[in-house]
Amino acid sequence: MYIVLMAGGAGTRFWPLSRFETPKQLLKITGEKTMLQETYDRVVKLTTPEKILIITGAHLVTKVAAQLPGLPEKNIIAEPFGRNTAPCIALASAIIRKRSGGDAAVSVVVPADHMIGDDEAFRDIIRSAVDHARDSDVLMTLGIKPGYPETGYGYIQREEEPCCVSRYPIYKVKTFAEKPNMETAARFLESGDFYWNSGIFVWTVKAIMDEFQRQMTDMYEMLPEVEAALDTENMAAAIEHMYSSIRPKSIDYGIMENAGQVRVIEAEFNWNDVGSWEAVYNISPKTKDENAHMQAIPMTLDSKNNFFYTSGGKLVAAIDVHDLIMVETEDTILLCKRQSSQRVKEIVDKLKIKDLTQYL
């Protein structure tokens, strides 16, 4: 079993704490360790460090290596620039094919910046999915059983009845759905046949490579060049040539939505993609007034349902403030309504347009 940790995201919705040089996955968002370290600790018990690949930005390689000293340095694979998840997964699959000496190996693809509440339950479901993927040669994804109508996640619709016997229910996938509005999300929840899309995948190298060859042929035909250059001085140049020649595309759009055999395994463990400051508020301990804080000392009067983050443990005095997110760093203060936290990315986009790169 090989495991691929996708650690190349920019984490723009976590601005201003998340920056170009220190994106979300390298930060301590949910505990005493960074999200990357927590993810690595979660998956290393499934295999060996030699079979774990980290795909990350070239500018982050040194920091990733410092955070994961037990990982072989050659397993930290540098992307010259981001091209979304499909090229990232294709690159990792080519490396696994070359290093394993064929396409029979099973690959588990996991985002490096998600929170999972029960590590052992996660590992047990992964083992079950690996067994099924190896035996059936299908594309597997983990579907999280939803507990409420969430508009910030994509969804997976399954068939009504399980397609096979397993320790966990496994279903054929009917369709993938993008992030819905609240009315649609409530309908998804009521139907009982939709899961949250975890972005966690399990498949054999052969199964995913067959789909890349069929659906993303131009990119697939560039992979032998990367494989030939693997672990040589030409590797970085081969990857840059590939990335310079392709367009960004997600694995959902590029492969999963039109793949021949896709199945979803039901997962009930506590999961959160921690995709915004609102998500951090939701998973944080609360006071009796439903306020939450990180590295801040809150002093509140008639203030409820707020989230405060400060650098260096500053005092935050709040009066008659409700449903607010406040994030303070050394050079920046973010203020927004909790329900608008997904729009932080728009501020990042405006900073780029105005060339205010010192804040990125």
Domain match, 226 and 246 both: yes
Output the CA–CA distances (angstroms, integers) from residue 98 to 74, 92, 93, 94, in the order listed: 14, 10, 9, 6
CATH of the domain at 214: 3.90.550.10
Give yes or no for residue 307 having a pLDDT over 90.
Answer: yes
Tens digits of residue pLDDT in 139-191: 999 999 999 998 889 999 999 898 886 789 999 999 999 999 999 999 999 99
User: Taking Cα atoms as reference points, which of 110, 136, 153 lies closest to residue 263?
Assistant: 136
pLDDT tens digits, one per residue of 308-341: 999 989 999 999 999 999 999 999 999 999 999 9
- Give which of 112, 99, 104, 84 is closest to 51, Cα–Cα: 99
Mark whether 263 and 286 lie in a shared domain.
Answer: no
Q: For residue 144, what are the domain limits?
A: 2-272
Q: Do 206 and 319 fall into the same domain?
A: no
Q: Are residues 141 and 264 in the same domain?
A: yes
281 with 325: CB under 8 angstroms?
A: yes
Domain boundary among 227, 244, 272: 272
- Whether 56 and 204 share a structural domain: yes
262 and 317 in a single domain? The answer is: no
Tell me, yes or no, whether 255 and 282 share the same domain: no
Do 66 and 119 belong to one domain?
yes
Give the pLDDT score at 167. Answer: 84
Query: Is 184 found in the same domain as 295?
Result: no
What was the pLDDT predicted at 137? 87
pLDDT digits 0-9 by tens, 226-281: 999 999 999 999 999 999 999 999 999 999 999 989 999 999 899 999 989 999 99
Task: Please report which confidence band the pLDDT of residue 31 belongs to, taking 50, 70 and 90 as the band edges.
Answer: confident
DSSP 8-state symbol, 343: G
Residue 11 pLDDT: 86
Q: How many domains does the chain have?
A: 2
Asked if 94 contacts 223 with a C-beta cutoff of 8 angstroms, the reply is yes
> pLDDT at position 180, please?
93
Q: Are residues 184 and 219 in the same domain?
A: yes
Domain identity same for 41 and 113: yes
Last residue of a domain, one of 272, 293, 309: 272
HSE-up of residue 175 (Cα within 13 Å, Cβ side): 3
| Rounded distance between C-alpha atoms, residue 155 and residue 113, angstroms | 19
User: Exposed, middle or buried by CB within 10 Å (0-12, 13-18, 19+), for 33?
Assistant: middle
Query: Which of 241, 272, 303 finishes a domain?
Result: 272
Question: 240 and 321 share a domain?
Answer: no
- CA dist 227 and 97 (Å) reads 8
Q: In the prediction, which pLDDT does 312 show? A: 86
